[in-house]
Amino acid sequence: MKPDCITAHFKGLVGTFYVDAKFEIPLLGVTALFGPSGSGKTTILRCIAGLTRLQGELKVGSWTWQDSKQFTPTHLRSIGYAFQHAELFPHLTVAGNLAFAGKYSDRRQGHRLRINSADIVALLGLEPLLNRQPNKLSGGERQRVSIARALLSQPRILLMDEPLASLDQAAKEEILPYIESLNRTSGIPVIYVSHDIGEVARLADRVLQISEGQVVGMGPIGEMIERLGLDAGVPAFEESALLKGRIASHDQTNRITQIDLSPGELAAPNINLPVGQEVRVRVRARDVAVALERPRAISIRNILSATVAECVAQENMGSADIILDIGDQRLRARITLASLSDLNLQPGQQVYALIKSVTFDGR
């Protein structure tokens, strides 16, 4: 048993669905359970919470919550649980809902008092909402209150089951920055269920890939983003790679931010982050083109020297994925099979990657 890890193995039937999931993850940062709908992500999360009981074992730090001899019930496990739909007490104000959260937290295994209400209210921007009833809140506001209530139960782990799935895009964009800051600010490990590769790329430090009730892949976010494909439920147009960089400078006149990738730089629409801030840059394969010579007189601003690492033909799609080395980082470009033939691309070949657009994560 490792005191700084979650060690788990759940095995059995849930209805007609068979689960055999085994994993070990650090009690640190954000771990995403990722896979297509129906793959078993929520079932595994419910097993961690004790809401679904299968055979197996679960050890969280120095606490054993499940083995062949014992099963700690949900109300004695030091967890916070944020569901898809925020279930708030309708007869209580926001302040009343938050006050209720800490009433029984000291009875739970692994409980550690380290978060006070004022900090969480400030973190999630709830000050203007404290006197409102739940029926007077927007979807995003309700979800922020639900997350705050989960945190104020003083959990050892925060479990989040697709907390953005029921929200429209505007509400998602409203709440994502709050979720980004949770682990950084509170220090509480997060296990986050999602089938949205954009959310995972933005929020997670590591990924457990779930398929048919099993863990079929595990690794750091950058490595897993590169590996995840159609078989993992990622739409073809969303397959991507992550680059790490730092904000190098801002050109306020032209509203452009330069990001240092070392080697190379990316220009992007202005990002409201300080110089020196580390960022993740998610680049979709469909937004990368490949050239044998450096183009001139072209509107695309991001042109990076690269080396072809691998060419993977997707015969059934009429396309090919080109894996490109950019220093010690990697990009993926999706081109047609005809372009692959015309360019005669080979591993080790020096080329230029033309990046049309990128998605940024302010972490």
Residue-level pLDDT at 363: 47
pLDDT bin (cut points 50, 70, 90) of residue 161 is very high
Tens-place pLDDT, residues 14-55: 999 999 999 999 999 999 999 888 999 999 999 999 999 999
Residue-level pLDDT at 305: 94
Q: Higher pLDDT residue, 173 or 35?
A: 35
E-strand ranges in the chain read 5-14, 17-26, 30-34, 55-60, 63-66, 79-82, 157-161, 190-194, 206-211, 214-220, 240-251, 256-260, 265-269, 278-284, 288-291, 302-314, 319-326, 329-336, 350-355, 359-361
- Residue 106 burial class via C-beta count within 10 angstroms: exposed 0-12, middle 13-18, buried 19 and up: exposed
Residue-level pLDDT at 361: 53
As a whole number, mean pLDDT of residues 262-269 equals: 86
Longest CA span, the chain: 71
Residue-level pLDDT at 173: 81
Res 213 pLDDT > 60: yes
In percent, the amount of the chain with pLDDT more than 90 equals 50
Res 244 pLDDT > 80: yes
DSSP conformational letter for 110 = T
pLDDT bin (cut points 50, 70, 90) of residue 229 is low
Res 342 pLDDT > 90: yes
pLDDT bin (cut points 50, 70, 90) of residue 117 is confident
Residue-level pLDDT at 230: 46
**C-alpha distances in Å from residue 292, one per residue of 13, 199, 241, 326, 358:** 54, 34, 21, 15, 22
- Most confident range, picked from 38-42, 224-228, 261-265: 38-42
